[in-house]
């Protein structure tokens, strides 16, 4: 699904003096890259406007564009424009005060779920929200400062798996080239992205040892609540952070990482070849065609999902 308020979006950006930029909670490189990138674009092109970035802590992605969130009072939302980046559903937005803004605009590249902002630009063919923001900036005829380009490029690199996922297109490289022309030090980005503490390397190795295969070759890891408590790592680190320990196994096209929490079992689904989004949606989740997530109530339900994924291998 594709939805476009291209002209009305730039009109809104031009009209409002206060713009507050939101993104999804527990931000990844794309959420941070698009948020900080858009902030620098707007500050550079509209120096008289007040531009704020809000949300929870950026964690390991706080290096992206400085990554410091603004603390703002509720009053700031009066008569303001809120821009929401990189999420398909309202519950994913970090800081729900966006609802207090006079006008809301969402820019996203996830599978379309529903309309929940006044204006929206959703392009599911974009490899990243940051790449989509970059191409909008270009099409709107705005200037692209190198500080913004660096943040946006970081979002493109992370969400495309270093230009490796099949969401990467000619358009991706065209946008990357446009950003690169502004002249920034990309090696700094890679140094931040692709280095880990020894403890993290060891943790990943322990997850590699936990990999199991179903009868028809679906890779999976199951982490119980008890194990979680002994790991001394965040849910995010385990659930999203460990799913791709299964990404490079020859013959394994689809894999899932189950993580028990107090609220249920988190399921992170990935595939090289199949639509795992349909299965995530069946279990109340969502995301992308080949990378989706869901939260189910119990281990039994998680195992049903695993059976569905296993069944999908036969139907291929
Ligand atoms: Mn994204």
HSE (side-chain half, CA atoms, 13 Å) at 305:
35
Q: Measure 126 CA to ligand 1 centroid, in angstroms.
A: 9
What is the band of 315 on the pLDDT scale with cuts at 50, 70, 90? confident
User: How confident is the model over 182-204, as pLDDT tens digits?
Assistant: 999 999 999 999 888 899 999 99
* pLDDT for 4: 82
Res. 2: pLDDT tops 70: no
Q: Measure 29 CA to ligand 1 centroid, in angstroms.
A: 8
Res. 64: pLDDT tops 80: yes
Q: Measure 152 CA to ligand 1 centroid, in angstroms.
A: 11
* pLDDT for 196: 86
Q: Which CATH class is domain 198-315?
A: alpha beta
B/e letters for 98-124, b = 16+ CB within 10 Å, e = fewer, are: beebebbbbbbbbbebeebbbbbbbbb
Domain boundaries along the sequence of the chain: 2-193, 198-315
125-151 average pLDDT score: 97
Higher pLDDT, 59 or 178: 178
SS3 at position 164: coil
Q: Measure 314 CA to ligand 1 centroid, in angstroms.
A: 31
* pLDDT for 1: 40
Where are the strands (E) in 7-135, listed by range?
18-23, 50-53, 81-85, 103-108, 119-123
146-166 average pLDDT score: 96
Q: Measure 279 CA to ligand 1 centroid, in angstroms.
A: 20
Q: Measure 154 CA to ligand 1 centroid, in angstroms.
A: 11
User: How confident is the model over 292-310, as pLDDT tens digits?
Assistant: 999 999 999 999 999 999 9
Q: What is the mean pLDDT of the chain?
A: 96
Q: Measure 129 CA to ligand 1 centroid, in angstroms.
A: 5
- CA dist list (Å): 132 to 2, 13, 34, 137: 13, 16, 9, 9
Q: For the domain bounded by 2-193, which CATH number is listed? A: 3.90.1640.10
Share of the chain above pLDDT 70, in %: 99
User: How confident is the model over 4-56, as pLDDT tens digits?
Assistant: 899 999 999 999 999 999 999 999 999 999 999 999 999 999 999 999 999 99
User: How confident is the model over 266-283, as pLDDT tens digits?
Assistant: 999 999 999 999 999 999
130-147 average pLDDT score: 98
Nearest one of 49, 53, 96, 98 to 77, comparing CA atoms: 98
* pLDDT for 166: 87
* pLDDT for 316: 62
């Amino acid at each position: 699904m594709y939805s476009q308020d291209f002209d009305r979006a730039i009109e809104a950006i031009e009209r409002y003096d206060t713009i507050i930029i939101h993104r999804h909670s527990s931000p990844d490189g794309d959420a941070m890259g698009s948020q900080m990138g858009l902030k620098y674009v707007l500050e550079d092109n509209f120096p008289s406007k007040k531009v704020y970035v809000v949300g929870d802590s950026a964690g390991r992605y706080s290096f992206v564009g400085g990554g410091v969130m603004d603390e703002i009072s509720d009053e700031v939302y009066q008569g303001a424009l809120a821009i929401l980046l990189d999420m398909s559903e309202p519950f994913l937005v970090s800081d729900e005060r966006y609802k207090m803004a006079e006008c809301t605009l969402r820019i996203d590249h996830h599978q379309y779920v529903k309309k929940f902002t006044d204006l929206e630009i959703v392009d599911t063919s974009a490899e990243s929200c940051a790449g989509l923001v970059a191409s909008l900036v270009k099409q709107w005829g705005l200037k692209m400062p190198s500080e913004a380009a660096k943040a946006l490029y970081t979002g493109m690199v992370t969400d495309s798996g270093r230009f490796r996922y099949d969401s990467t297109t000619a358009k991706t490289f065209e946008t990357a080239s446009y950003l690169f022309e502004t002249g920034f030090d990309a090696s700094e980005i890679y140094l931040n992205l692709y280095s880990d503490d020894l403890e993290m390397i060891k943790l990943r190795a322990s997850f590699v040892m936990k990999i199991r295969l179903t009868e028809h070759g679906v890779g999976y890891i199951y982490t119980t609540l008890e194990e979680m408590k002994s790991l001394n790592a965040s849910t995010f680190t385990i659930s999203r952070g460990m799913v791709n320990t299964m990404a490079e196994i020859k013959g394994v096209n689809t894999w899932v990482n189950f993580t028990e929490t107090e609220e249920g079992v988190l399921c992170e689904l990935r595939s090289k070849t199949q639509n795992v989004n349909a299965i995530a949606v069946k279990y109340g989740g969502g995301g992308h065609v080949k990378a989706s997530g869901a939260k189910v109530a119990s281990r039994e339900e998680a195992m049903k999902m695993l059976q569905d994924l296993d069944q999908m291998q036969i139907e291929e």
